[in-house]
A and B are shown apart, each in its own frame.
Chain A
């Protein structure tokens, strides 16, 4: 497989090497005979591992957030003590926590909106460019998609470096702009904007490639018909393309929300392991509470609140998955 053809996935919607599934109307009909213990035996190792590494910690996360659990409890000097909702009242009553929540929501919303809009625009653009331009863009996209997050973060740190960063040098070349020595991370909002750019840069390729595959499936006759009926470019997009792509857009958006609410290494590494107060997002804030302040219980309470915040979005994603007939 050459690099060239791996970078043009757009033309091949279902990249499975095997024949497509027979869309039999009664998927469970042929299965009835084969119940019994076999499936559970096959599932057993998987379920056991997940129960240990995921189930147990999840339960522990919940119980921890109702306990007093600090350094002394960690080393076993003191038993963990039940404190009811104390951790939650402490966290929710803290003004800083709410500032962090607002910052996280704004950051995630911004990242998702920019990712989706940029992804959609680039996908539409790719339909209109010549083949060689498309190949070039695809190469750039797949290369940036494949970059490990830690590497990407390190590279962005270098691009935005105050003294030797290429961005300040380039911006200063513009007439009337002097960005020499400008520190992008002096203030939270500006620094987070840079981190948002990093997140968007990393997330756009996936969105573009998925949407491009979707766009190839929009029937040309429908667009043609709309155009004959007098729809402009926007009208065709709004009333033909968008409704057809809607299921994909819903999935991509919910996934992006989940990913962008969970952004951690980007902030952590960008700020050298110690994000300042106005860089804290829910994830880093929870980490900070647990491993810097050594209050594991409050850290867990914050993590639990984050998960609960995400539940709504996860529900939409799962519903969409089920609706598509994913889980027959």
Chain B
């Protein structure tokens, strides 16, 4: 279903060679270097967010924390309305996820549990559709919303987000469904369940964790989207990602509050991501959706 299965199929052995311990120290040092390099931007964001604003514009900045203040967060909440954009992002993302999961589950069931003419075409189509860069579609999508009178409306944004969320949910849920043995359903049907009954009693409980993971991941993607939010909503209806642009004005950039704002944006998302990352690692290659 996923790259992981490909992985599983490529090799039969699983034991890892036990390597001699002697040269570990050198590798560990290299590993720590990778840790520092990869983690530094995140660390520096947090460091700047919590340090006094005047230390942030020190020409000789200290690498270690210089003090602790929440002033930058206060300033960030102050600089432009924060909760409005967050509320709008929530409404849009939750609506997209709700539609994406319901419609996606139905479609995923169709392509994973039924044989019908044209099934392969549908599957290839859904896979291919995810490969079109979002940016390439912005012009006709903009014109479409203009024609439908949905420009600068949250519902319009919800519709457009379905372009990338729906193929993703269908494909990922399909991956979860094909992993549920069909024999379970068949056994339930032999015992007198209807097809729908078998789905509700047998498949659905097994699918639920996958649905949760897919929802969370879809939510993150919708929440993080920038281009459509910027183009299809006016300044006064901006979403959370676009809100982050408020720190740069013609008078310059307020970096410390901007890092505080970045922290507020990133932390909940990173936490959500941590929760589902492992479950999604498999589905992601198949899902093939990112930024």
Contacts and interface: CB of A to CB of B under 8 A. Distances in A.
Interface of A: 1, 3, 5-7, 9, 12-22, 28, 30-32, 34-36, 38-40, 42-43, 45-47, 49-50, 52-54, 56-58, 60-61, 64, 74, 122, 125-130, 133-134, 136-137, 139-152, 154-159, 161, 163-164, 166, 169, 180, 201-202, 204-206, 209-210, 213-214, 216-224, 244-245, 247-248, 251-252, 255, 258-259, 261-262, 264-265, 268-269, 272-273, 283, 286-287, 290-291, 296, 299-300, 303-304, 306-307, 310, 314, 317-318, 321, 324-327
B226 A150 contact: yes
Given A129-B31, A139-B39, 19 more contacts: A30-B182, A34-B114, A39-B114, A40-B116, A53-B159, A53-B163, A57-B163, A148-B265, A151-B265, A154-B258, A161-B253, A180-B59, A201-B38, A262-B133, A265-B291, A290-B139, A303-B136, A303-B137, A310-B133
| In the A-B complex, the 6 residue pairs with the closest CB atoms | A219-B13, A146-B273, A262-B133, A140-B39, A31-B115, A46-B107
Contacts of B166: 46, 49-50
B83 interface: no
Nearest to B120: A327
B187 interface: no
B60 A220 contact: no
B179 interface: yes
A143 B286 CA distance: 22
Instruction: Give the interface size class of chain B.
Output: 35 or more
Contacts of B17: 220, 223-224
Interface string B53-93: 00011111101000000000000000000000000000000
Contact of A324 (B5, B13, B60, B115): B5
A98 B8 CA distance: 43
A52 B163 CA distance: 9
A105 B289 CA distance: 21
Contact of A3 (B9, B61, B274): B274
Interface in B111-166: 111, 113-117, 119-120, 122-124, 126-129, 131-141, 143-144, 146, 159-160, 162-163, 166
Interface of B: 1-17, 19, 23-24, 27-28, 30-32, 34-35, 38-39, 41-42, 44-45, 48, 56-61, 63, 99, 103-104, 106-107, 109-111, 113-117, 119-120, 122-124, 126-129, 131-141, 143-144, 146, 159-160, 162-163, 166-167, 170, 176, 178-183, 186, 195, 206, 209-210, 220, 223-224, 226-227, 231, 241, 244-245, 248, 253, 255, 258-259, 262, 265-266, 269-270, 272-275, 277-279, 281-282, 284-286, 288, 290-291
A278 to B, nearest CB: 19
Contacts of A128: 19, 23-24, 27
A143 B270 contact: yes
A142 to B, nearest CB: 6
Contacts of B195: 34
A306 B136 contact: yes
A50 B159 CA distance: 10
Contacts of A324: 3, 5-6, 9
A318 B128 contact: yes
Contacts of A151: 45, 244, 262, 265-266
A210 B2 CA distance: 11
A21 B135 contact: no
B191 to A, nearest CB: 17
B175 to A, nearest CB: 8
Given A31-B115, A134-B31, A251-B3, A53 B162 contact: yes
Contact of A146 (B2, B160, B181, B269): B269
Contact of B38 (A35, A53, A204, A299): A204
* Residue among A54, A202, A216 having the largest count of chain B Cβ atoms under 10 Å: A54
A259 B290 contact: yes
A112 B244 CA distance: 28
* Residue among B28, B41, B114, B227 having the largest count of chain A Cβ atoms under 10 Å: B41
A35 B248 contact: no
B140 A58 contact: yes
B155 to A, nearest CB: 12
A125 B34 contact: yes
Contacts of A157: 253
Given A217-B11, A247-B10, A307-B136, A133 B32 contact: yes
A17 B98 CA distance: 23
* Residue among A64, A161, A300 having the largest count of chain B Cβ atoms under 10 Å: A300
Contacts of A134: 31
B133 A265 contact: no
